[in-house]
Amino acid sequence: MKGIKGARIYFWNDTLSNEIAKHDANEKQFAPSPFNPIQLRQIDRQTEIMKNSALALLLLLGTAACMTPPPPPVERPPAKIALALGGGAARGFAHVGVIKALEAQGISADIVVGTSAGSVVGALYASGLDGFQIQELSMNMGEDQVIDGSGMYQCIAETMVSNKRGCIKGQALQDFINRNVHGLAIEKLDKTFAAVATNLKTGKMVVFRTGNTGMAVRASSSVPVFFEPVTINGQDYVDGGLVAPVPSSVARSLGADFVIAVDISDRPQDQSTAGITDILWQTFSIFGQTLNRHEQSSADIVIRPVTHGLPSANVSGRNKAVLEGEKAVAAILPELKAKLAKLNETRHVAGMP
């Protein structure tokens, strides 16, 4: 087909058609941008700013995550440590050595429970005296300061041949305690304190938590036959060793998290049975041994000073008794520290991180 006259003449064929299509495609591919060069540079800058801002935000979030403070430590309530001091007459001086040795390791009781001789030392300790002060007091103590009436051996002879309820009144012991705790009632002492006694009529355990400190100690220490029963509010009370020779269960009932029991009782196999006095003490030893097995199940650790050979009826062996108390603590110290460290995981033990 021919074109119009005067114009360039093309012959329409397939090749020409293809060329025109390619030309149109190229025109579209390289079509001019709707933005001028200045606008394009602004768009590029904004795009770069947005990229940098996004990167900065990601870095900030990552840094914040790394800087998040650790959760606060779990609050551990303070651990309450109790000292359960057992009975044992004049062997009770061993308790002084135990207290001294524990204090040397930074271990101090919050709760103190005592039976008989343990109540004597326990009351002094609960009043705020430390081990050295109690030792000084006990070393300078005369027998007449705690025993009124006949001497110990004359007392035994008199009691056996009379209808007396006991030849030692116990008033001297009561006065000695009250004087050295400055007249404070039990509930006013520095530490929680309890003295364990036995109701003579019912045979039941009685725990004195309030009232006259010296009178409670006197009741707890009134060994039958030797001491007269103590009458309080119309009831007669005698030595607490008849029901709780080592009062671990009482210490636990007062809220202790950890109970350190101190057993100063004689072992029956170590005792003589040659005379009437020996047989009397042996009776107490056998009786107390059975009760101790039950009581000590409430203790976390038991300290047993070697008391064999120490006199129970006089104070002549006080220095050796104190030393045996210190040695007994040294013997169980690794076990004691390990158990306290375990307790410290859930309850804060004073002196531990």
- Helical axes 117-126 vs 93-104, angle rounded to 10°: 40
Q: Which two tokens stand for residue 102?
A: 């524990």
Greatest CA span in the chain, whole angstroms? 168
Q: Which of 110, 221, 239, 265 is catalytic?
A: 239
Cβ-in-10-Å burial (0-12, 13-18, 19+) of 201 comes to: exposed
User: Can you tell me the distance from the alpha carbon of 110 to that of 80, in angstroms, rounded to the nearest whole number?
Assistant: 6
Q: So what's the pLDDT on residue 60?
A: 62
Q: So what's the pLDDT on residue 318?
A: 87
Active-site residue, 116 included: yes
Cβ-in-10-Å burial (0-12, 13-18, 19+) of 314 comes to: middle
DSSP 268: G
Q: Which of 116, 119, 138, 222 is catalytic?
A: 116
Active-site residue, 17 included: no
User: Hunting for tokens 């149109």 — which residue is that?
Assistant: 24
pTM of the model: 0.76
Task: List the pLDDT tens digit at each of the 353 positions of the chain.
Answer: 444 444 444 444 455 455 545 555 555 454 555 656 666 566 666 676 676 666 666 666 666 555 556 666 677 899 999 999 999 888 899 999 999 999 999 999 999 999 999 999 999 999 999 999 999 998 888 777 777 765 556 666 666 666 777 788 899 999 999 999 999 999 999 999 999 999 999 999 999 999 999 999 999 999 888 889 999 999 999 999 999 999 999 999 999 999 999 999 876 666 667 777 677 777 777 777 777 777 888 999 999 999 887 765 555 678 899 999 999 999 999 999 999 999 999 999 988 88
Q: So what's the pLDDT on residue 167?
A: 80
Asked whether 332 and 303 are in contact (CB, 8 A), the reply is yes
CB atoms under 10 Å from CB of 71, counted, come to 6
Q: How far is CA 200 from CA 118, 162, 222, 239, in A?
A: 20, 20, 11, 9
DSSP 262: E
Q: So what's the pLDDT on residue 125?
A: 98
> Which of 174, 141, 172, 125 minimizes the C-alpha distance to 319?
141
Rounded to the nearest 5°, which phi and psi values hold at 166?
155, 150
User: Can you tell me the distance from the alpha carbon of 228 to that of 214, in angstroms, rounded to the nearest whole number?
Assistant: 15
Q: So what's the pLDDT on residue 345?
A: 93
